[in-house]
Structure 1
């Protein structure tokens, strides 16, 4: 179990490094118009907006699944 946690952590770290390097490359080597198309007009907040969107999407999916399970168990108990 500990090995899995370590490897998942290593994967996350490598992913974060790869994304930050890719964003740095895009910022350094693309014209402003292309950069705005790829990263949006607010280029400094891309990571926080992406993380916020992922959290909102996860919470929406979690709520749908929770409601589905609640209906299933209420129907079974009733």
Structure 2
């Protein structure tokens, strides 16, 4: 579900939030969702649109998420 929001954010021109959401989803789940392989491509497309500093900040925000705070990232 969070990955769906990440895809919308990427299409809406917000790759930083897309990276944050994918990272948060993986953290909350305990790893990538192997049933949705397109998410890897989504994360890659979002990542290349960011500078290394922007990507690191987006990943840090995602890693800080918990199951209780992940929805607050939207």
Query: Please, what TM-score do these two structures have when normalized by structure 1?
Result: 0.27
Max Rg structure: 1
Give the number of the structure whose residues are more often helix, by fraction.
Answer: 1
Query: Please, what TM-score do these two structures have when normalized by structure 2?
Result: 0.28
**Higher relative contact order by CA 8 Å / sep ≥ 6: 1 or 2?**
2
